[in-house]
Amino acid sequence: MDWSALQKRALWLLPVLPVALVLYYGIGMGVAHVIDDDADAQPKAVEPSQSRAVAMAAQLILREVDENKWVANDPIFKPSALLDDMAAYQTGIVAAIARFTDRLAGLSLDNGERDVELGRAAGLLKYPGSIWKFDLKSAWMPTASSEKQYRLAARNLEGFNERLADGDSQYPRDAATLAALLNGMGADMDAVIAQFDQHMEQPGWALLDTQADNLFYEAKGRAYAQSLVLRELGWDFAAVIAQHNLGDDWQTMLTALRQAAAQRPLWVMAAGENSALFANHLANHGFRLLQARAKLAALSNALNTKEH
């Protein structure tokens, strides 16, 4: 074996390898990166007895898992593992749907018990989004991936709609149910705003803030999912909203939430309140979220008041 020739080849590869890695990760990240915030996304067609909001939730999960590809659990040797903003965005979408599903499961009772399909979906959506198909902490043993669990959850949501069509489950379309669903989403918004407040109270320099972008994109994902699910809830509960004369307030709430979900700064920063040089995108997003939250609370109060 000619060791000198091998050494020469190795020396030739030294400057090439970094360039190859940069190209591999750079091009791979560009191809994989998708922040899908299409405000006109639609659910699959449903029958009148079925829920458009549930169909929308299932559609969003399958879109992020199968069409856009889930990246939050990608191992480091895949370029998409470095797409932390996309991972945070997708995680936010699933988190919002998990909250909605869990709340709906507690309202759609069958003989006093949670609907079996909604209950399964709610449980599966609590699965961490960072689990790959092999458990890197347990000698690379195969395990259930996040994608698999979320895909099953989407099928369970579709199964709930099938049960509704067959008359085997219940979906109360009254003011109390709508108010309870709004309260659940409102609590989710409160948690996001509290996270923003806590982060902005910490001292730091806007240009070196490595957490602001993840917080922003997770909140953006939540707001996006909520805006679509709430839009479809408006159709599910159209009669209730019309009966209580809340159509204009409902649209105002949706507009504020869409504006929060549509924000996409080139570089996310969380500068101090008195900064004249740098933006605070957490504050910008939080402002729109607070607008939507205030309208959400007013809608819930109106539904509860007029119900009694």
User: DSSP string covering 237-292, please?
Assistant: THHHHHHTT-HHHHHHHHHHHHHHHH---SS--B--TT-SSS-BHHHHHHHHHHHH
Does residue 255 fall inside a structural domain?
yes
Locate tokens 């079925």: which residue?
50
Print the domain residue range for 223: 172-308
255 and 182 together in one domain: yes
Q: Total structural domains in the chain?
A: 2
Of 171, 190, 215, which residue is a domain's last?
171
In a domain, 293, yes or no: yes
In this structure, is residue 28 part of a structural domain?
Answer: no
- 205 belongs to a structural domain: yes
* Domain end residue (candidates: 122, 143, 171): 171
| 180 and 302 assigned to the same domain | yes
The answer on 162 and 186 residing in a single domain is: no
Residues 191 and 249 occupy one common structural domain: yes
Residue 148 sits in the same domain as residue 120 = yes
* 200 and 274 belong to one structural domain: yes
pLDDT at 227: 98
Whole-angstrom CA distances from 83 to 14, 80, 87, 217, 219 are 27, 5, 6, 11, 16
> Nearest 5°: CA angle at 273, between 271 and 279?
40
Verify that 248 and 154 share a domain, yes or no. Answer: no
In degrees to the nearest 10, what's the CA dihedral of 188, 86, 157, 115? -30
Residue 271 near residue 279 (C-beta atoms within 8 A) = yes
Do 148 and 188 fall within a single domain? no
Q: Is the pTM of this model over 0.85?
A: yes
Amino acid making up residue 214? N
Going from the first residue of the chain to its last (308 residues), give the mean pLDDT of each consecutive group of 10, the final group possibly shorter.
59 70 78 94 96 98 97 90 93 98 84 84 95 70 88 98 93 95 96 92 73 94 98 98 97 97 89 72 93 97 77
Please check whether residue 114 lies inside any domain of the structure: yes
Q: Do 78 and 184 belong together in one domain? A: no
Please indicate, yes or no, whether residues 179 and 299 belong to a single structural domain of this protein. yes
* Domain limit, last residue, from 133, 149, 171: 171
Q: Is 32 among the domain residues?
A: no
183 and 297 share one domain:
yes
Report how far residue 169's alpha carbon sits from residue 279's, in angstroms, rounded to the nearest whole number: 49
**Do 198 and 128 fall within a single domain?**
no
The Cα–Cα gap between 164 and 148 comes to 25
- Asked, for residue 69, whether it belongs to a domain, the answer is yes
* Helix or strand run (H / E) with residue 114: strand 113-114
* Distance from C-alpha of 234 to C-alpha of 208, rounded to nearest angstrom: 42
Please report whether residue 122 resides in a domain: yes
